[in-house]
Structure 1
């Protein structure tokens, strides 16, 4: 990896005593558009204010903490001193949406001390970018405070208008809710507290999860999230619908009477606000990943971005099953000869996927249901000790599968479903990762379906934040990259630990196969692109060609056109992208399959060409090494005619554009498979109009001539 120079210039160092408390402490973004002001009130209450183009975006908002068995951090502070800095840096992504990232910001650090006993210290740090801000609390080492038990963090975001808001409930256990679109004043999260389609859910109050994105009457776009979530609880945002105010509400636990326990010194995660004048700039922002520390792993070239197929979608359709049909006897899974014959992870079936992948420029095969324990993986209270992460079912020969994959140039992607039995997984991690290392497997998909064990913990609390992060950090020692499902939220840690490659963390493709509410509506992904995708890569599993799948489930379908399924390979970013459908469905449709064969997964540049939150988006990405471009455009339930300028292409260069587009009579429900394919020559001066059907899309391969 190249190492780029970081330039840090200290502009001013102010020593302030209590007589100077009226001084304004400010930091302004490099381009001068965003300004943060900080101060304390006469009572010593810390607060901040944010302006964009001289307009107040976040009005006076207070900061503080509520502690167990200690006075709160909420007032009686004085400002001892402040520090402002300018930071300019360029760093290289080992994989990602682009090759290099600019990390330029102005920094304000304020040093606070209580003016009454016990005179404890707290620092607050702001980074102000051209497209938003991040701020965090720093608890420095100090004589009068060595450990804190945080009952809650009281970080406020006082909004100045009733924004159109795209939100999911502040569920402590799951992110798999459909997005709602309402005014901020109309947010009602608790009505989703009992959701029939979710394996576990807990929504204790009217709060939303992050990223939560808002659009103002003047076109201003805001998105609230957090960055660098380490050894802390996940943050939801409590909504004050009357006063249009958000306030942090940390995820808790039934096993402790605090939400976070930390020894000093430590820093909280960054609280982030992306601020842009339009929707596309939200996606192009690098604020979240920039707020994380640089790469701590060094060379991670052992991980290769790839497309993959696998034994997965067929189980959701009911064609096959994860379990083999064994029985638990004397504490061991035993083949009693009662196998039901529907097991999916057989040596023969996996070889079929390997053969298909090898023929179609697809680098990996995921195998779910290969290991013992699936007979009791969910719905049982005694899930600890059920899964064995090294013992295969009788009809899966892992040695032969790996050998065959290597012969064909296809990697096997490991699967670890923990059933949320964290102690079992933690005990077996070294053995499980060592097995992967033995076979040269570099990617694992982990899962945490079900209520967390030990009982009383939630998926997004401090306990599980540490479980997820520690699993990934340990995996790196075995050259294993982690794609986590049922995860904690993405917060940009992929910069610090580049083996954290992708994750679920949203209502995914599988809901189309089994949800009782009709699956994901056409507006779902045009919302996801401007909400969940701002946090980081998504393992959404696109590429379903058999949209209706009536032979398996007559009451379910994918609610997009085939063209949109292709476009998702560009629109929804991940360094690993699944061709999720069955082999036979791809082989029956070789022409659209060509786009999956061609499309890249690792990018040099990303350009968001247009978009409106919840309506449509068009993204073009330039592939590393080849210099080829790929374009994806998707819409909601409304048809669109979008004019596209190709001025992002190289000068004096012609390209062959293979356009996969909705046919004139295409419709997500009535005629989803209607697809036209056209080849033309384009260049930098070309302008095309894309005609997107209801729930439709367009995918274009742009190959250098």
Structure 2
């Protein structure tokens, strides 16, 4: 049941008597203090269990065309209240989420600007803080342009940080682990090449930013409900350890176009004295609005395979020919010579459909099915794809018929080539085409420089496009998995057909030189804080040269680590990313992928340390089945597995998928052992985990 309690206590004070406002979290562990400093500058500070987390930090926005919202304020009204509800996500890591916070709403008036006023709303949860700027409708405030937001996060010292270079166009960097004071010196090496990238500062970093203080506090800084606003990065003052918001600009350098009434996204600070507390937080989801859709029955978690990894490794190609000059609607593909390596052929896709049907999977993703792939990568062409015209060797109608006969859905792929204008031009037609041919999910991509030229992937204009795409898809009952889009901020609560995102360095980079062994021990603390990732795990053949002799890259994990990712890297959209012929060689290990759920009733963080290891247990939605995943970095360790979450008095059979005694990610990644054991709520299992390795357990 949904339970809502809203208690609002208005506290109006004469301005002369207002000094500072404080609220505490419901459990009293967190304390927020708001006050005006000299010249009416708004500030806040945050304490956790009487330990300082955020020192007094300035708030405000600098504007281009009207007086700024930085100083000259007086407090003219304060309101406090508490809110407590429980809600059920359409899909998620738990069946029920509690949304419980205490709130402070401060009205600030600038007397010198014709009594113009704004509000700052603070919500203090047991796991952290969310706050935003609100601009009510009023006589002296209408349209304004943001030059920069100057929200500060003044830290207490030189914290350990897990960071990505600040960039307006990509998150596809390897996470760097260092002290804040070391960011400047490590930035140049951290900015590795990408087809589209725009860094902005030698100390600029992206959010979610994961931090650990010297006295053992875990702190995560991000944002929630990013709508009609530019994505926030953070610029570090590395002498004073103050982070300040830095918004993504548009083509002419403006950071946001606003019209009252409106508000900013929430700025979030999640705090815990245990690493597990960060992973358990649902603060970002709670700061988003409930779902906008009355009917959500068409939104379903998906486990899928696809014509994809073979192109990533170079075994096959997206393109039908080797032409170097292609113009859609002019090039006659029926008169061109096929290159013989095109992956998305009717017959080949049927093989994937057969594999999915035989092994109880839900869907097949097909990339490279449509005309135009030969001539766009690295260019800024406006009109590359029309999203409805297949290559001569891909029969849309026959694939629809064959997949339907096997009970398998086909996932559409829309690569926009960065031409957002062209995608919007074709969007309705493309979605209608999907409905007519039985597609209910789409993977969209935004590779390359954005058209219109000068816009960035994370600017306000693109943020609005991504949401337009999602809401338009909902009109056709289509689920969206967006790649190269802005990193998520919990909008999947409001728009649950946003079933996945990439927005980080995924498995594909294992074929481009490799991800560090600690990569997936960090992502749950950073990228996944705002929503699930389509990480595409499940690679069993770790040597890319097996598929393409010219590709010498290898996967920097063991095979069992790949199994564990289905539990530790939460997503309602999970791909078995390797090729069917490889899975057929390891069907005993593939059994875990067949069994593991993609939607959950409960989740328990058993042990965690960012950059080192994670162990998670989850209960499958509406089933008496549990799954455990444990992963580590390059350092072997002993995973400590408890089972106290199991019902007392019952005995279960657990299938343990473990690294072999001689396993390691770099020397013997495919060594594994499978055994069955009996477990109860009192069982404690100590399991060796190899270098770059893992462990996966299914309990029934």
TM-score for the superposition, normalised by structure 2:
0.97
Structure 2 residue matching 1:178: 3-state secondary structure: coil
Q: Which runs of 4+ in 1 moved over 3 A?
A: 189-197, 326-331
Structure 1 residue matching 2:35: 3-state secondary structure: strand
Relative to structure 1, the CA distance from residue 365 to residue 40 in structure 2 (aligned partners, 3 Å threshold; closer, same or farther) is same
Deviation at 1:435, TM superposition (A): 1.2
Listed as ranges, the matches of 1:609-688 within 5 Å are: 609-688=606-685
Query: Which of 513, 529, 536 lines up with 1:534 in the alignment?
Result: 529
Residues 49-81 of structure 1 deviation map (CA, whole Å, 9 limit, x = unaligned): 111111221111011111112211111101111
Counterpart for residue 166 of structure 1 = 162
The answer to whether the 8 A contact 1:559-1:669 is kept is yes
Relative to structure 1, the CA distance from residue 191 to residue 301 in structure 2 (aligned partners, 3 Å threshold; closer, same or farther) is same
The answer to whether the 8 A contact 1:328-1:334 is kept is no
Structure 1 residue matching 2:677: 3-state secondary structure: strand
Counterpart for residue 16 of structure 2 = 19
Structure 2 residue matching 1:36: 3-state secondary structure: strand
Residues 588-625 of structure 1 deviation map (CA, whole Å, 9 limit, x = unaligned): 11110111111110101111100101000001110012
Counterpart for residue 406 of structure 2 = 408
Counterpart for residue 49 of structure 2 = 53
The answer to whether the 8 A contact 2:67-2:113 is kept is no
Alignment partners' CA distance in 1, 2:248 and 2:306? 34
The answer to whether the 8 A contact 1:422-1:453 is kept is yes
Counterpart for residue 134 of structure 1 = 130
The answer to whether the 8 A contact 1:222-1:275 is kept is yes
Deviation at 1:87, TM superposition (A): 0.2
Counterpart for residue 342 of structure 1 = 341
Query: Which of 487, 495, 514 lines up with 2:493 in the alignment?
Result: 495
Deviation at 1:682, TM superposition (A): 1.1
Query: Which of 264, 268, 271 lines up with 1:272 in the alignment?
Result: 268
Alignment partners' CA distance in 1, 2:187 and 2:630? 33
Structure 2 residue matching 1:400: 3-state secondary structure: helix
Deviation at 1:230, TM superposition (A): 0.2
Deviation at 1:461, TM superposition (A): 0.6
Alignment partners' CA distance in 1, 2:2 and 2:437? 35
Match status 1:512 vs 2:505? no
Deviation at 1:331, TM superposition (A): 4.5
The answer to whether the 8 A contact 1:377-1:387 is kept is no
Counterpart for residue 40 of structure 1 = 36
Residues 464-504 of structure 1 deviation map (CA, whole Å, 9 limit, x = unaligned): 10111110011001001110000101100011111111100
Structure 2 residue matching 1:356: 3-state secondary structure: helix
Counterpart for residue 520 of structure 2 = 525
Match status 1:545 vs 2:566? no
Residues 95-134 of structure 1 deviation map (CA, whole Å, 9 limit, x = unaligned): 1111110000000000111021332111000000001000
Alignment partners' CA distance in 2, 1:404 and 1:507? 34
Gaps of 5+ in 2: none
Alignment partners' CA distance in 1, 2:340 and 2:388? 22
Deviation at 1:653, TM superposition (A): 2.2
Deviation at 1:16, TM superposition (A): 2.5
The answer to whether the 8 A contact 2:173-2:192 is kept is no
Structure 2 residue matching 1:187: 3-state secondary structure: helix
The answer to whether the 8 A contact 2:195-2:378 is kept is no
Deviation at 1:627, TM superposition (A): 2.2
Deviation at 1:250, TM superposition (A): 0.3
Alignment partners' CA distance in 1, 2:170 and 2:253? 22
Structure 1 residue matching 2:426: 3-state secondary structure: helix
Structure 1 residue matching 2:331: 3-state secondary structure: strand
Counterpart for residue 311 of structure 2 = 315
Listed as ranges, the matches of 1:370-519 within 5 Å are: 370-381=369-380, 383-514=381-512, 518-519=513-514
Listed as ranges, the matches of 1:94-109 within 5 Å are: 94-109=90-105
Relative to structure 1, the CA distance from residue 471 to residue 308 in structure 2 (aligned partners, 3 Å threshold; closer, same or farther) is same
Structure 2 residue matching 1:403: 3-state secondary structure: helix
Alignment partners' CA distance in 2, 1:79 and 1:56? 25
Counterpart for residue 360 of structure 1 = 359
Larger displacement relative to structure 2 (161-170 or 222-231): 161-170
C-alpha RMSD of the superposition: 1.4
Relative to structure 1, the CA distance from residue 190 to residue 466 in structure 2 (aligned partners, 3 Å threshold; closer, same or farther) is farther
Deviation at 1:195, TM superposition (A): 4.5
Match status 1:198 vs 2:194? yes
TM-score for the superposition, normalised by structure 1:
0.97
Counterpart for residue 262 of structure 1 = 258
The answer to whether the 8 A contact 2:97-2:282 is kept is yes
Relative to structure 1, the CA distance from residue 549 to residue 264 in structure 2 (aligned partners, 3 Å threshold; closer, same or farther) is same
Counterpart for residue 88 of structure 1 = 84
Structure 1 residue matching 2:604: 3-state secondary structure: strand
Gaps of 5+ in 1: none
Alignment partners' CA distance in 2, 1:89 and 1:401? 46
Residues 204-239 of structure 1 deviation map (CA, whole Å, 9 limit, x = unaligned): 112110000011122110000000000000000000
Residues 10-55 of structure 1 deviation map (CA, whole Å, 9 limit, x = unaligned): 1x31222331232x21111000000111111241110111111112
Residues 158-179 of structure 1 deviation map (CA, whole Å, 9 limit, x = unaligned): 1112111100011110000101
Relative to structure 1, the CA distance from residue 194 to residue 614 in structure 2 (aligned partners, 3 Å threshold; closer, same or farther) is closer
Structure 2 residue matching 1:529: 3-state secondary structure: helix
Alignment partners' CA distance in 1, 2:44 and 2:645? 39
Structure 2 residue matching 1:332: 3-state secondary structure: coil
Structure 2 residue matching 1:699: 3-state secondary structure: strand
Alignment partners' CA distance in 2, 1:622 and 1:507? 28
Match status 1:300 vs 2:299? no
Query: Which of 585, 593, 598 lines up with 1:601 in the alignment?
Result: 598
Match status 1:211 vs 2:239? no
Residues 500-529 of structure 1 deviation map (CA, whole Å, 9 limit, x = unaligned): 111001111111112xxx310101111112
Counterpart for residue 330 of structure 2 = 332
Query: Which of 92, 106, 125 lines up with 2:121 in the alignment?
Result: 125
Deviation at 1:554, TM superposition (A): 4.8
Alignment partners' CA distance in 2, 1:666 and 1:385? 49
Alignment partners' CA distance in 1, 2:527 and 2:326? 40
